[in-house]
């Protein structure tokens, strides 16, 4: 029952001051207990109570009155004529013009406007309004500006999924980004979990197209049959996208027809592994594309008929075309200005350069580059110098030239964390970007600094997995392992072409390429010399005739006895020399001096000479015995041979 008390008073009493006074308390309502309801009483022990210590908030909405706006147009073909004059009649129009030209107001107006118009015409002839007088000063100011970047937007897919549509909390990686080709307000992001055998059963397969002006929810949800690993806008038709799935299938979408794929390739003719690269070709119809996967194949498709690929290539660098020898592709590069050439980065760290228009499959693989010791996660050609391309893998980013195959012309230092992606700047030829597994974005400007990046920005705490730059070069998108896409606006100094930058970059590329060519020629010459030396040694070994084992044994025995005999002769000579040194000193003294001999001196002299003669005789006998010893041994060896 609603209790209501109506208080009424006269209008004249409104606004009068109130005079309050104290009074004793009075009982207004007294309800005695009802004994009949006591049996229904239940004692609550304990009693749960809650306290909320927050400010009470209220929601208010304000909406201004909407103004109705409509577009109107006026088409003026032939007007300004009075109603009684027909514009189609030439005589009437001429007569009316002459009448108006004779009017004094018309003459005065034309004279006044003619003076103003003459001044404007003279000014236009004297000054070039399109000439830039202070362009160099502005460039100099841009060069002095330190490089910087700021975060302008973040889209976290998992917050949207949890609050909007996805009941699970499985984190997925933003594997690929693609900007809208016409407007830079839309970004297509492919989401997939690349952890081997770690996919949850209830994991979402959806990918999204985001509108930068409304990042709270995606503009369109793409629903593939398998998570997308790669996703690309069609440069000729911005409503069409092609995507490569985790199970190897290819699919394409038309945003005008919703989020379901228009057509999907069959499993039997698709890749066997995830499609890490899908790129549109510059064809007349705008419906051709090609894809690469870790199964070692490159397939060409026409989206009008995805039931069967139009062409295929096995990435077998032995040029035998065997799928079991193929290298798994993990990145793909295609430059529209070079329509027949493309490059593939493999899991083994080898870059394969291919030519689609070759006659045989073996000729389609033109050359290889041994670039990294790990997977090549990114390949990108310089938009200003297509012969120079960038590769990202392991802990370094390397710059290559088509003219050098053995080594890069430039490379970065080894980082503590491995690199995950990279791309060139679309506005400056000397600037490129790389992402790292520690969540850092590096901006390199090798004209400014070669040893370290010009700018390093910590984007997030989780690893960065993908990177894509807008065509205008001012906004860069970074996708992380947890699915967060961060948009960064870089400073004008990093996206504005500097004075003489093209000339300086060209000179550096040519100088480094020439240096690597000289080193390659030197290494090639050294290898040829080493090969010739090794081949000569092998020829000598082959020309040496094989000896009989018995002859080898006899020669070894003969050499052994010769060594023994030489040692015996040496010892004999040493003993003889020792005996000669023991002759009496007086005998030798008497022989040298011319004084008369003392008594008994002649006997001593005779004794000395006798000793000397005996020593000489002993030496002759020893030499005869030594000369006889080899003859005896030779006779023994001949007898052994006869016995054998």
Residue 275 inside a domain? The answer is yes
Coil/strand/helix, residue 505: helix
Domain that holds residue 612: 563-586+608-632
- Residue 567 predicted with pLDDT over 50: yes
Residue 599 confidence (pLDDT): 39
Q: Give the residue from 497, 532, 555 where a domain finishes.
A: 497
Residue 438 inside a domain? The answer is yes
Query: Does residue 161 share a domain with residue 285?
Result: yes
Determine contact, residues 224/275, Cβ cutoff 8 Å. Answer: no
Give me 588's structure tokens. Answer: 């030798």
Give me 428's structure tokens. Answer: 């400056």
Percent of the chain with pLDDT over 90: 32
- pTM for the full model? 0.60
Q: Report which DSSP code applies to 356.
A: T
Residue 77 confidence (pLDDT): 65
Residue 148 confidence (pLDDT): 60
**Cα dihedral across residues 96, 102, 104, 110: positive or negative:** positive
Q: Report which DSSP code applies to 369.
A: E
Of 46-60, 370-384, 475-489, minimum mean pLDDT range? 46-60
Residue 82 inside a domain? The answer is no
d(CA 562, CA 630): 8
- Closest alpha carbon to 406 in 375, 374, 371: 371
Measure Cα distances from 216 to 31, 153, 157, 211, 231 in Å: 57, 11, 9, 9, 21
Residue 163 confidence (pLDDT): 29
Residue 124 inside a domain? The answer is no
Query: Does residue 270 share a domain with residue 367?
Result: yes
Query: Does residue 258 share a domain with residue 170?
Result: yes
Check which CATH number belongs to the domain holding 157 and give it.
2.130.10.10
User: Which carries the bigger pLDDT value, residue 583 or residue 196?
Assistant: 196
Radius of gyration of the chain (CA): 50
Residue 637 inside a domain? The answer is no
- Residue 339 predicted with pLDDT over 70: yes
- Closest alpha carbon to 389 in 369, 366, 373, 419: 369
Query: Does residue 217 share a domain with residue 352?
Result: yes
Residue 286 confidence (pLDDT): 87
Query: Could you report the per-residue pLDDT of 506-564, keeping only the tens digit for each?
Result: 999 999 999 988 988 888 888 888 888 887 776 655 555 566 778 888 888 889 889 99
d(CA 85, CA 102): 18
Residue 597 inside a domain? The answer is no
User: Which carries the bigger pLDDT value, residue 494 or residue 644?
Assistant: 494
User: Which carries the bigger pLDDT value, residue 134 or residue 24?
Assistant: 24
Quickly count: other Cβ atoms within 10 Å of residue 501's Cβ: 20
Query: Does residue 578 share a domain with residue 448?
Result: no
The partner residues of 188 in beta bridges, in order of sequence, read 178, 209
In this prediction, residue 589 has a pLDDT band, given cuts at 50, 70 and 90, of very low
d(CA 471, CA 407): 30
DSSP E strands: which ranges in 371-516?
376-381, 388-393, 396-401, 410-411, 419-424, 431-436, 440-445, 455-458, 464-469, 475-480, 484-490
Residue 389 inside a domain? The answer is yes
Q: Give the residue from 440, 475, 497 where a domain finishes.
A: 497
Query: Could you report the per-residue pLDDT of 111-168, keeping only the tens digit for each?
Result: 999 999 999 898 888 888 777 766 555 444 444 556 666 565 555 433 333 223 332 4
Residue 113 confidence (pLDDT): 92
Query: Does residue 170 share a domain with residue 252?
Result: yes
Query: Could you report the per-residue pLDDT of 36-93, keeping only the tens digit for each?
Result: 888 888 888 888 888 888 888 888 888 888 788 888 887 766 667 787 888 888 888 8
d(CA 289, CA 279): 6
In this prediction, residue 641 has a pLDDT band, given cuts at 50, 70 and 90, of low
Residue 197 confidence (pLDDT): 66
Query: Does residue 571 share a domain with residue 466?
Result: no
Coil/strand/helix, residue 3: coil
Query: Does residue 372 share a domain with residue 236?
Result: yes
Residue 145 confidence (pLDDT): 57
Query: Could you report the per-residue pLDDT of 162-189, keeping only the tens digit for each?
Result: 223 332 467 788 999 999 988 878 899 9
User: Cα angle at 187 between 428 and 444, to 5 degrees?
Assistant: 25
Query: Does residue 332 share a domain with residue 225?
Result: yes
Structural domain tally of the chain?
2
Determine contact, residues 479/464, Cβ cutoff 8 Å. Answer: yes
Give me 70's structure tokens. Answer: 């409509």
Mode of pairing for the β-strands spanning 440-445 and 419-424: unpaired
Residue 605 confidence (pLDDT): 35
Determine contact, residues 449/432, Cβ cutoff 8 Å. Answer: no
Query: Does residue 264 share a domain with residue 348?
Result: yes
- Closest alpha carbon to 388 in 315, 332, 335: 335
In this prediction, residue 586 has a pLDDT band, given cuts at 50, 70 and 90, of very low
Q: Give the residue from 497, 524, 552 where a domain finishes.
A: 497
Question: What totals of helices (H) and strands (E) does the chain contain, helices first?
Answer: 9, 28
Instruction: Give me the chain's average pLDDT, please.
Output: 81
Query: Does residue 389 share a domain with residue 265?
Result: yes
Residue 419 confidence (pLDDT): 93
User: Cα angle at 17 between 16 and 22, to 5 degrees?
Assistant: 130
Cα 443 to chain centroid distance, Å, stands at 13
Residue 517 inside a domain? The answer is no
- Residue 241 predicted with pLDDT over 90: yes
Residues in the chain: 644
d(CA 212, CA 177): 13
Of 114-118, 337-341, 396-400, 604-608, minimum mean pLDDT range? 604-608
């Amino acid at each position: 029952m609603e209790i209501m008390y109506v208080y009424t008073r006269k209008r004249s009493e409104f606004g009068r001051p109130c005079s309050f006074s104290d009074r004793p308390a009075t009982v207004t309502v007294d309800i005695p207990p009802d004994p009949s309801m006591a049996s229904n009483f239940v004692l609550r022990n304990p009693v749960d109570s809650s306290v909320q210590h927050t400010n009470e908030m209220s929601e208010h909405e304000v909406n201004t009155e909407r103004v109705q706006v409509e577009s109107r147009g006026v088409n003026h073909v032939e007007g300004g004529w009075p109603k009684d004059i027909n514009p189609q009649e030439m005589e009437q129009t001429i007569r009316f013009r002459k009448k108006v030209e004779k009017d004094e107001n018309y003459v005065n107006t034309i004279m006044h406007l003619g003076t103003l118009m003459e001044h404007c015409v003279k000014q236009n002839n004297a000054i070039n309004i399109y000439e830039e007088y202070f362009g160099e000063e502005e460039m100099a100011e841009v060069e002095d500006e330190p490089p910087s970047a700021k975060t302008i937007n973040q889209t976290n897919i998992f917050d949207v999924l949890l609050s909007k549509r996805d009941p699970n909390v499985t984190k997925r990686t933003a594997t690929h980004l693609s900007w809208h080709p016409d407007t830079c307000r839309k970004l297509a992001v492919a989401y997939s979990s690349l952890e081997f055998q770690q996919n949850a059963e209830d994991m979402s397969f959806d990918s999204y197209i985001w509108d930068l002006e409304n990042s709270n929810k995606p503009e369109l949800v793409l629903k593939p049959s398998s998570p997308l690993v790669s996703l690309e806008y069609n440069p000729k038709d911005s409503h069409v996208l092609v995507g490569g799935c985790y199970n190897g299938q290819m699919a394409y979408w038309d945003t005008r027809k919703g989020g379901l794929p228009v057509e999907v390739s069959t499993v039997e003719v698709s890749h066997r592994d995830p499609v890490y690269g899908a790129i549109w070709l510059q064809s007349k119809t705008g419906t051709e594309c090609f894809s690469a996967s870790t199964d070692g194949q490159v397939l060409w498709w026409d989206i009008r008929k995805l039931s069967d690929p139009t062409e295929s290539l096995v990435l077998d660098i032995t040029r035998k075309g065997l799928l079991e020898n193929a290298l798994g592709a993990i990145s793909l590069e295609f430059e529209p200005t070079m329509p027949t050439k493309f490059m593939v980065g493999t899991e083994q760290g080898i870059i394969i350069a291919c030519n689609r228009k070759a006659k045989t499959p073996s000729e389609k693989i033109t050359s290889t580059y041994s670039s990294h010791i790990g997977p090549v996660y990114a390949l990108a050609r310089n938009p200003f110098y297509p012969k120079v391309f960038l590769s990202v893998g392991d802990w370094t980013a390397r710059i290559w030239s088509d003219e050098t195959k053995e080594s890069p012309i430039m490379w970065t230092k080894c980082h503590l964390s491995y690199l995950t992606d990279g791309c060139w700047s679309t506005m400056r030829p000397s600037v490129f970007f790389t992402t790292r597994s520690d969540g850092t974005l590096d901006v390199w400007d090798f004209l400014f600094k070669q040893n370290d990046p010009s700018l390093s920005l910590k984007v997030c705490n989780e690893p960065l997995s993908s990177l894509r730059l807008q065509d205008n070069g001012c906004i860069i998108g970074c996708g992380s392992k947890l699915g967060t896409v961060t948009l960064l606006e870089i400073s004008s100094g990093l996206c504005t072409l500097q004075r003489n930058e093209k000339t300086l970059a060209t000179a550096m590329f040519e100088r480094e390429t020439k240096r690597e060519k000289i080193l390659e020629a030197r290494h090639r010459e050294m290898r040829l010399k080493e090969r010739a030396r090794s081949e000569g040694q092998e020829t000598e070994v082959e020309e040496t005739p094989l000896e009989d084992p018995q002859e080898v044994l006899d020669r070894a025995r003969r050499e052994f006895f010769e060594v023994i005999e030489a040692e015996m002769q040496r010892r004999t000579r040493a003993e003889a020399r020792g005996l000669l040194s023991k002759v009496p000193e007086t005998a030798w003294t008497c022989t040298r001096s011319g004084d008369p001999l003392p008594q008994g001196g002649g006997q001593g002299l005779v004794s000395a000479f006798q000793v000397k003669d005996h020593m000489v005789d002993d030496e002759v006998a020893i030499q005869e015995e030594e000369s006889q010893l080899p003859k005896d041994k030779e006779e023994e060896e001949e007898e052994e041979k006869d016995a054998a």
